[in-house]
Amino acid sequence: LSSMSTAKSTNAWGMFLMAHNRATEELERRAAATGLPPMDWYDVLWALERAGDTRLRMSDLADMMVTSRSNLTRLLDRLEAAGLAVRERCSEDRRTTYAVITPEGKKLRKKAWVMYEKAIEDVFNSQLTDKELSTIHDGLSKVVQNLRMMSAVQR
């Protein structure tokens, strides 16, 4: 998504889109090639593992992942079918469902992280200086912060 280089920004936005596109493609390619789960599975497993005893409700998880509830419902169906997570009912409020990671889920997440960590190093970190990494981090965190404010105003 770009048009005739507005000169301003040397089209950082266009490069941002391209880099994301190519980099995530490479990560998914490596995951598939080694029989490891795709990034969205990893994200759910990692969110559940971090949550630990403070179990996560389906809707909280959906908000963290920035995906729709219905999409998360089906993603968790797949994780459950693969034995990596389970649903647990809540006794206090019987509308809510908790998602919980299984021991197999933890094991696979760990294994996947070994692969993803190396891939991120190869694809991203190794190509950038520490100064560049920190500028990218700080700059993009301003972008994210601004979007948070925009959607807060929206409501």
Applying CB under 8 A, which residues contact a copy of itself?
Answer: 1-3, 6, 8-13, 15-27, 39, 42-43, 46, 66, 113, 116-117, 120, 122-128, 130, 132-144, 146-147, 150-151
Three-point CA angle 86, 31, 61, nearest 5°: 35
The one of a copy of itself, DNA, none whose footprint includes residue 93, by CB under 5 to 8 A per kind, is DNA
Site membership for DNA, residue 20 (CB under 7 A): no
Question: Between residues 77 and 132, which has the closer beta carbon with respect to DNA?
Answer: 77
Which residue, 143, 124, 116, is CA-closest to 41?
116
Shortest Å distance, C-beta 95 to a copy of itself: 27
Report yes or no: 109 and 49 within 8 Å, Cβ to Cβ: yes
User: Site for DNA (CB under 7 A): which residue of 20, 22, 50, 69?
Assistant: 69
The one of a copy of itself, DNA, none whose footprint includes residue 60, by CB under 5 to 8 A per kind, is DNA
Report yes or no: 113 and 50 within 8 Å, Cβ to Cβ: no
CA distance 5 to 12: 10
The neighbouring-strand residues paired with 98 are: 57, 88
User: Site for DNA (CB under 7 A): which residue of 73, 134, 141, 145?
Assistant: 73
User: Site for DNA (CB under 7 A): which residue of 57, 86, 115, 123?
Assistant: 57
Residues 6+ apart with CB under 8 A from 36: 108, 111, 112, 115
Q: Rule CB under 7 A: which residues touch DNA?
A: 32, 40, 57-60, 67-78, 87, 92-98
